[in-house]
Structure 1
């Protein structure tokens, strides 16, 4: 079957999630973080570390009835145990919301391979690895560096700039667009897709589904364009790829493209912004990196540890008693890699940023079978973004600390970051 035939009937899907478990939306401020946590609260976005530290001391596995019920482990050992346990925890949905996709979607899930369980996961992940090796990623470094310089050029003459909106967000948008072969001018649409996927988690299921439908409609358009005009990019690669001797199902192609677009943008955008936020208020670290640029690869690992942007989710497969709590089938579990990275049982001076910390076995890229396949790409983008910024704008500080705004949801990073230059 030709690619044209295989994707001929790939049309607009139904609005909203068709099946699965839907839950009533619970809103309002958190009453008690141990029994009513919500990662969508402004207080969590502003400073989750204080909450996580207190929970780790008093209630290491918190509970909530929001989103239909879920758990939040805060110790490294608990987060790691769940991440590695594919027998009792499913990855078929990795974003907590008021809708759980049906169990029949396992082991593939909606956005493979990150939503896939064994045994399907291994083959689906293996398909992507060649595109994200260190050598494959290196081909994008010159264009990424040139693009970062162009962004700095556009800031010339301004005393105050928004490093999140004017710099950090644009870098992964351009890189992912290049990799997937999408028009770079569609960047504003990508940011809308990111916000719908990650910050709209508490919307009613039908409304959330309709918003996500816009993303998948866009991806279908790109697939049809690539079927008509194949080229050397990741989208054409997925269209032609085979798994177990068969071409990928169209839904697999769409889901993986959606994963790469969303995960590839927001995580790196957040990591770049958080690193600049730290340096803006830590002049000794900033001055040291300007004077010792060779230290930057070590420092960025510490930024990733201390400000890990990503929290993943799992679903409990069956009722069970686990580490002192009674988990129910289809309960959510939030795997807070940021909390794991600040566990004093795992890291010395866990609450401090030590830019020459070595060794640094952080969990910013996840643990277990779903450890981020794009870690080399993310590191390259973060390194180049910081190298160019520190080279061109070595002196900067927070212009207005109260104006800094952080995203809510499972990827945390600055969304407004006004910096004073000079």
Structure 2
């Protein structure tokens, strides 16, 4: 079968060039006795409240160590996180999800999900391809539809006293926006959630099961690509199919990998940021009431929510054996870049452990640091702002129905997964 573009035949092996090799069936979860010597970001206590753990590590062991995942490090000071994020000579981005396997070094500099998995100099050119779709002007055109969708979600709450602000509101907003940008069927939203959970929360699955789940993601993407080849339209998928780099069309693995990145990262990060912001407002009446009374303060408050509840942690791989800031790092050791920990470093932020919704100086790292700073930051800010504006306009009074019923995702993207709130 052909589609008019031989790159994307049904048997397109190149789509899976990022398939992980050398995986080991290591168990990486289990009780932690000493977070400085055996950290694990997959544990329930980390998911529930990582900040006291990070604060303790920052005081007594700023760069924690673990033998799980085949060996890794966790810096908790802003200056260390920033230094590693900017150092592309000694740290590789060829895998950004810490798990029980490492992609072979030959996957650099492209990586499986470019440009976030790409090292310089390829990274710069792969990133530049995406910039036109994520300018303020381009994102501004998405705002009316996003606002209308938020209103439609809240219309669905009519007659109810208790709703799940994460499951019934926050998660759906980025799913719809990303589906529209990529030209995917909006009714496929539940599948997007499944892909997110498989990729970011399934790192301890048996290798065969993890591979099967990743194959399901790329099978879906290949079906969408073939449909776009046969029926081109004005969206980001068609743009990637037709884009050129170094005088030729993008490789199938590049197209599919970038689509996977936009689908996974574009959904989970914003879903988590919206949910965490609503969680804070539900449990902090003074901040909620102030924002309802002073809506002009919301953009400033939103940046504080991003700082205090930064959802994203990224991984790097050490390129060669070295001693770095007192840590004897080995080639292919993981580095877990905790932007949430950096954002709560008291050496960088005054009252770092407090949520100060009128904080004036706020150079947070929620969108990352260095060359890999999030290309979709304008999109995420728009979605977060509109989601909060519409919610506070339509639901000015709300509180946690049961604080103990709130659950948070484990892994490298942290946000509420269940958030029951009482309206009124």
2:95 aligned to 93, 96, 110, which one? 93
Cα distance in structure 1, aligned partners of 2:128 and 2:20: 30
Q: Does 1:7 align with 2:8?
A: yes
1:253 aligned to 246, 252, 255, which one? 255
Aligned to 1:365: 367
Q: Specify the SS of the correspondent of 1:420.
A: strand
Aligned to 2:111: 109
Q: Does 1:125 align with 2:127?
A: yes
Aligned to 2:243: 241
Q: Is the 8 A contact 1:280 1:396 kept in 2?
A: yes
Aligned to 2:197: 195
1:174-227 deviation per Cα after TM superposition (whole angstroms, max 9, x unaligned): 000000000000000000000000000112333212111110110000000000
1:350-407 deviation per Cα after TM superposition (whole angstroms, max 9, x unaligned): 0000001111100000000100000000000000000000000000000000000000
Cα distance in structure 2, aligned partners of 1:92 and 1:15: 13
Q: Is the 8 A contact 1:94 1:312 kept in 2?
A: yes
Q: Specify the SS of the correspondent of 1:22.
A: coil
Aligned to 1:411: 413
Deviation at 1:18, TM superposition (A): 5.3
Cα distance in structure 2, aligned partners of 1:233 and 1:68: 40
Q: Is the 8 A contact 2:174 2:270 kept in 1?
A: yes
Q: Which runs of 5+ in 1 are unaligned?
A: none
Cα distance in structure 1, aligned partners of 2:355 and 2:361: 14
Deviation at 1:6, TM superposition (A): 2.3
Cα distance in structure 2, aligned partners of 1:158 and 1:210: 40
Question: Under a length normalisation based on structure 2, what TM-score does the superposition of the two structures give?
Answer: 0.97
Q: Specify the SS of the correspondent of 1:254.
A: helix
1:46 aligned to 35, 38, 48, which one? 48
Cα distance in structure 1, aligned partners of 2:28 and 2:368: 29
Cα distance in structure 2, aligned partners of 1:229 and 1:340: 45
Cα distance in structure 1, aligned partners of 2:310 and 2:128: 25
1:98-121 deviation per Cα after TM superposition (whole angstroms, max 9, x unaligned): 010000000000000000000100
1:50-77 deviation per Cα after TM superposition (whole angstroms, max 9, x unaligned): 0000000011000001111100000000
Aligned to 1:342: 344
Cα distance in structure 2, aligned partners of 1:418 and 1:295: 26
> Alignment RMSD, CA only?
1.5
Aligned to 2:168: 166
Cα distance in structure 1, aligned partners of 2:52 and 2:394: 34
Q: Does 1:25 align with 2:27?
A: yes
Q: Is the 8 A contact 1:309 1:338 kept in 2?
A: yes
Aligned to 2:155: 153
1:263 aligned to 262, 265, 274, which one? 265
Aligned to 1:211: 213
Deviation at 1:15, TM superposition (A): 11
Residues 297-312 of structure 1 correspond to what in structure 2 (within 5 A)? Answer: 297-312=299-314
Q: Is the 8 A contact 2:312 2:412 kept in 1?
A: yes
1:1-55 deviation per Cα after TM superposition (whole angstroms, max 9, x unaligned): x961222255367799452353522332111101110000000000000000000
Cα distance in structure 2, aligned partners of 1:18 and 1:122: 24
Q: Is the 8 A contact 2:143 2:382 kept in 1?
A: yes
Q: Is the 8 A contact 1:15 1:206 kept in 2?
A: no
Q: Is the 8 A contact 2:29 2:40 kept in 1?
A: no
Greater shift, 13-22 or 195-204, is seen at 13-22
Cα distance in structure 2, aligned partners of 1:209 and 1:233: 29
Q: Specify the SS of the correspondent of 1:63.
A: strand
Cα distance in structure 2, aligned partners of 1:19 and 1:308: 31
Report the number of matched residues.
Answer: 422
Q: Specify the SS of the correspondent of 1:99.
A: coil
Question: Under a length normalisation based on structure 1, what TM-score does the superposition of the two structures give?
Answer: 0.98
